[in-house]
Structure 1
Amino acid sequence: MDFSFLNNDLESWAIAVAVLLGATLAMHWLRRLALHKMQTLSRRTETMADDLVAKMLRKTYLLIMLTVSAYLASLALDLTDKQRLVVSRVAIAALILQLAIWGDTLLRAWRDYAYVSDTPRKASRTILCFLMRLALWVIAFLMVLDNFGFNITTLVASLGIGGIAVALAVQNILGDLFASLSIMLDKPFEIGDFIIVGDVLGSVEHIGLKTTRLRGLGGEQVIFANSDLLKSRIHNHKRMETRRVAFVLRVAYGASDRQLARIPVLIREVVDAESMAAFERAHFFNYGEWSLNFEVVYHFQSPDYIAHMDTQQAILLEIYRRFEREGIRFAHPLSIVRMAEGQELPAPQAVGAAGSAFRH
């Protein structure tokens, strides 16, 4: 007796079942082989890529493999257009679901890695991961609905209008939230950095979803809204690799030309003696009202402010000692008044009141 089911004989069904079992076993075997290779590789390397692939393979489900195998098996059967459409739509929906599961696995692995490697920013990473996972599953859901023939245009329009209404209602909160995400991704500063924002100086203590907190020089805590912070000009001193130092030495009038020519050489010797200082220049650059002015520039090869001040102090002290040995005098503000012959000096209290020194 001939056997027939859904217009297909026993031989066709036997071939379809063989394809179903063979394809499922082949995909299951390939999954296990790839998973074994990735696990072996992950034990020998420190990169995240092989670990992520291994996690994705563990989230490949047998039911989805059976669904795809069923579609391949249906190719061996004589089905109506409606039946073939249903089988293909179910298979496509299964593939979309598997892709969404893999994407969700990647996002959660990235979030878990953030807890270990970037603890200060884990709150921002958590909310970013949540938003990305929400967007992923919404897109997957809409694709599945569209695959089964539903008209999603109205649904998408409704979601868009609702999203705009919610965004307008909480725009200040969302502004700070997205500013936090911007800080996390762009990293203009990190926990522990010393920054200057306007007239506020301090070290970054906390970067939250809505606010960033600085510890000011006076010990007070300064709190900025993240959106306001990103609108400001930020000076990050932690990332300063070198520090340019410039100062002026004022030498008293009366120094000889030999002493003036000796000063730049003397300053170079003093700066070069410091291991962290790189001499740039020292020049006699102008005649002041009461001094001969030398401009000195060097670069300190570290962002450490305390080390910079220690080096500058050592340089200035050594310049003072060398000037003492060379007989070079530093200038100080001085007014010289020449009296006409026969004119008397003013009374002492007048001199004190005027605040000037008089010399004949």
Structure 2
Amino acid sequence: MSNAAAANAAAPPTAPAWSPDRFQEQVGELVATSLAWIQSNWLQLAIAAVIAVLIVGALHWVRNWATHRNETKPDSTGWAAILRRAAAKTGNFFIIMVAIKLVEGYAYAPELLTSTVNFLFTIAAVFQAAIWAREIILGMVEARTQGDHHGEALGSAMGIIRLLVTFALFAIALIVVLDNLGVNVTGLVAGLGVGGIAIGLAAQGIFADLFAALSIIFDKPFRRGDSINYDQTFGSIEAIGLKSTRIRAFTGEERIISNKNLLEKEILNNTRRDHRRHKWTIGVIYQTPPATCAAIPGILKDIVEANQGIFIRAGFVNFGASSLDFEIEFDTAGPDYATFYDVRTAIGIAILQRFNDDGIEIAYPTQTTFTAAPDGTLVMPYASVQPVQDVGHSGGEEAPARG
């Protein structure tokens, strides 16, 4: 016998290709095996059937209860509401397969029937898990944005999030099912990865602004209507879109900036201030008596508290070129700029009025020139002149002038 003939004789027979006859034969074998199993295990099957009916009823009751609660309290949030929302999405196919799986395990089904039940149960469980995961993720996202007023941006974002989450979860579920069927999914996973990278590189600018918009919606650094400033721009948020944010500047014009570029800057949210603070430096002349200088911080404190300000500190800070410098810091409660503006104006005018009343002179840049004699002693900058004495007129005679 040749080597080729020996090799062919030693090789195991290959499984025949699928054909209608082969399929019909397997179905017939499954039916015959199942009937024989039922005849020999009817008592266990009866008990298992009762248990299965109870399980199906219990799962249906849970689903109906969750659906009813969601309809009566549609705006409720929290983990309980999210779990009820997921339970309401439990499918009939999954419920039936859970019951059959328990019956099959209790009654010791034949191997062929067990394989069929395991296959169907795997499909039902994997896709039901994907549905539950989707509802839980979307519920958490909606709970995180509950009460926000992002308008169309939030609606569009939720649509995109729902699409991405659904695609990702069901793609994973499909891969798990195929892997359980013995299909080699390595090539499929690699293809999905390469395709995702290609799409990401082609639309990286769009995706960068999109995810920046989602970050604004979920992280909430600001909301529509907030007053912010970044770089040299001051304005209020008018709209937050998926691509850009529109800001109405205080000078009147509308400024549009991409979400990605906006989040890369330092943003000051003035609407979330708990107070506004102002600091002034006030200079008085060097001729001010020390006792008066010592009283100035107390005077400034009284003025701030009398004009709805919140006094922080006041004191002497510097010997200036033309003044003795005092500093005052005060706050106004809340973020309202108009209130802060009015309080600051009232405090400034009150300081000016009080200083005038007490004779405290506010300094301004001055310069004094002194004249020195040849020996270095200071002299008056002008000659001594005898004043003219006016003795009036007497008898029509004019008094002589003396100089």
Same fold, judged at TM 0.5 (above): yes
For residues 54-65 of structure 1, the aligned pairs below 5 Å read 54-65=84-95
**1:76-123 per-position Cα deviation (integer Å, ceiling 9, x unaligned):** 14412x442232121121111222222333455567668873241413
Is 1:79 aligned to 2:106, yes or no? no
CA RMSD, Structure 1 to Structure 2 (Å): 3.0
CA 1:95–1:313: 2 relative to 1, 3 Å: same
CA 1:50–1:41: 2 relative to 1, 3 Å: farther
- Relative to structure 2, which stretch is displaced further, 120-129 or 282-291? 120-129
CA 1:214–1:282: 2 relative to 1, 3 Å: same
1:33, 1:188 → 2: CA distance? 40
CA 1:309–1:128: 2 relative to 1, 3 Å: same
**Which of 112, 115, 122 is matched with 1:92 structurally?**
122
Give the 3-state SS of the residue equivalent to 1:246 in structure 2: strand
CA 1:33–1:108: 2 relative to 1, 3 Å: closer
TM-score by length of 1: 0.84
Contact 2:66/2:88 (<8 A) preserved: no
For residues 99-248 of structure 1, the aligned pairs below 5 Å read 99-107=129-137, 109=139, 117-120=147-150, 121-122=153-154, 123-248=156-281
Q: What is the letter of the counterpart of residue 196 of structure 1?
A: N
CA 1:183–1:164: 2 relative to 1, 3 Å: same
Query: How big is the shift at 1:149?
Result: 2.0
1:134, 1:107 → 2: CA distance? 13
Tell which structure's C-alpha radius of gyration is larger.
Answer: 2
**2:25 maps to what in 1?**
none
Give the 3-state SS of the residue equivalent to 2:165 in structure 1: helix
1:287, 1:191 → 2: CA distance? 47
**Which of 258, 275, 287 is matched with 1:254 structurally?**
287
2:380, 2:302 → 1: CA distance? 51
- Relative to structure 2, which stretch is displaced further, 324-333 or 114-123? 114-123
Contact 2:208/2:260 (<8 A) preserved: yes
Unaligned runs of 5+ in 1: 346-360
**1:66 maps to what in 2?**
96
Q: What is the letter of the counterpart of residue 290 of structure 1?
A: S
* Count of residue pairs brought into register by the alignment: 341
CA 1:58–1:125: 2 relative to 1, 3 Å: closer
**1:357 maps to what in 2?**
none
CA 1:18–1:66: 2 relative to 1, 3 Å: farther
Query: How big is the shift at 1:257?
Result: 1.9
1:331, 1:72 → 2: CA distance? 94
**1:290 maps to what in 2?**
322
Is 1:308 aligned to 2:308, yes or no? no
Contact 1:249/1:293 (<8 A) preserved: yes
CA 1:52–1:24: 2 relative to 1, 3 Å: farther
Q: What is the letter of the counterpart of residue 333 of structure 2?
A: Q
Contact 1:108/1:129 (<8 A) preserved: yes
Contact 2:97/2:121 (<8 A) preserved: yes
**1:215-264 per-position Cα deviation (integer Å, ceiling 9, x unaligned):** 11111111111111122222222222122221111112322222211211
**2:57 maps to what in 1?**
28
Is 1:15 aligned to 2:44, yes or no? yes
CA 1:13–1:146: 2 relative to 1, 3 Å: farther
- Relative to structure 2, which stretch is displaced further, 120-129 or 212-221? 120-129
1:33, 1:133 → 2: CA distance? 24
TM-score by length of 2: 0.76
% same residue = 32
Give the 3-state SS of the residue equivalent to 2:41 in structure 1: helix
**2:390 maps to what in 1?**
none
**1:192-221 per-position Cα deviation (integer Å, ceiling 9, x unaligned):** 122222122211111111111111111111
2:268, 2:337 → 1: CA distance? 15
CA 1:237–1:143: 2 relative to 1, 3 Å: same
- Relative to structure 2, which stretch is displaced further, 58-67 or 307-316? 58-67
